[in-house]
Chain A
Amino acid sequence: MLKGLLEHIGLEPGRLQFSWISSAEATKFVEVAQGVAKEVNALGPATRLVKRRAEVG
């Protein structure tokens, strides 16, 4: 439901992902991590729900 709410308010689908991986599932961990990295890379840098540092000077 959190994912649903965040995507409803405009967070890009794919930016937030959930998985359940046992400590014995090394292969799954690699697959998921690579998959997430690939999808997030495709989305580019996050601009929504990101707090920017005040620009000084």
Chain B
Amino acid sequence: MREYTEKIREIAKKLLESKRVDVFIGYRKGTVAMMNEPVLIREPEKVGLLHWDSHCGLNLCNYLTKRTEKIGIVANGCNSRNIVTHILENQIKREQLYVVGIPCTGVIDHRGVQRAVQPREIEDVEDEGDAFVVRAKDFRETFKKKDFLRTNCAVCGHRNPVLFDEMVAEPVEEEKEVRPYHDVESIEKMSSEKKWAFFTQLISKCIRCYACRNACPLCYCPTCFVDESKPQWVGKSTDPTDTMTFHFLRAYHCAGRCTDCGACERVCPVGISMRQFTKKLNKDAEAYFGWEAGLRLEERPPLDVYRPDDYNDFVR
């Protein structure tokens, strides 16, 4: 991954020096292991901060919304699909952007790594080809990356960017055999009672911190429905019904837009798998409309156009 980092820095320097862009958005290494953070760079001499490895799990599109300057941005498969969605939803213009494409081999699930080496305190995690090395006090061990991918990365069918001006490397091979909706299908087979019990249990730990919403590039409304008080759409307590309403409505606002980038799950402080909500919608969008979000600039999303052959079996 060192080559990626070098190449990103080189491109960013070129873009900033030539004034092709005013700001470059990328990742830098976080102060805590596996916690890379977003960074906005305006001066060419600061490109040394830029970094790429298997821990770039936040979605940088959050920083594009309604910007007016010229922007350079790094984007892997899912992030590039969010850029497309942002352009379709008029949150940014294509002409403003210089997209630096990253062929992605997945982000590592930091919780999985912590579990594997607990109770040690991890000092550093570094990529080494298909593997990564974890270092702690008097401890050093190599793990295979494919055993520690985030669940969304493990079933990803769009690793290469769909939109880019320049790639940092040759595209990687796309996974053809993945079954992204395997878990949704197993829930669909449950009885109604079991489904309710499953989802009630799933969100029972939620503390309503809204980190999932804040990390999501789709959640750019100036005032979110959960923050409004006149009218108050949903109760603000951790009452199970309020919490369930928050989760299914947040997910529903992402219907036909979610790229399964996994930022929501990554930032959840209590480890809720809220992608179970959005994945059902992604599956239905594909089944009913043949739609996967953010693949093309030429086509409007299914939920903002009417077509005479839209499915309507649910209308009695």
Contacts and interface: CB of A to CB of B under 8 A. Distances in A.
Interface string A15-55: 00111100000000000100100000000000011111000
Contacts of A49: 241, 244-245
Nearest to B247: A9
A6 B277 CA distance: 10
The bracket for how many chain B residues form the interface is 20 to 34
B192 A10 contact: yes
B193 interface: yes
Interface in B220-271: 235, 239, 241-242, 244-245, 248, 251-252, 255-256
Contact of B315 (A7, A18, A51): A18
A1 B192 contact: no
A8 B283 CA distance: 12
Contacts, number: 69
Interface residues of A, number: 24
Contacts of B209: none
Given A2-B252, A4-B280, A19-B315, A9 B195 contact: yes
Interface in B52-102: none
B187 interface: yes
Interface in B192-238: 192-200, 235
B316 interface: yes
A8 B315 contact: no
A10 B239 contact: no
14 contacts: A1-B284, A1-B285, A2-B255, A4-B284, A5-B284, A6-B248, A10-B192, A10-B195, A11-B196, A18-B315, A20-B315, A32-B316, A49-B241, A51-B235
Interface of B: 184, 187-188, 192-200, 235, 239, 241-242, 244-245, 248, 251-252, 255-256, 277, 280-281, 284-285, 288, 303, 314-316
Interface of A: 1-13, 17-20, 32, 35, 48-52
Given A5-B280, A10-B192, A10-B195, 8 more contacts: A1-B284, A9-B248, A10-B200, A11-B192, A11-B196, A17-B316, A49-B245, A51-B242
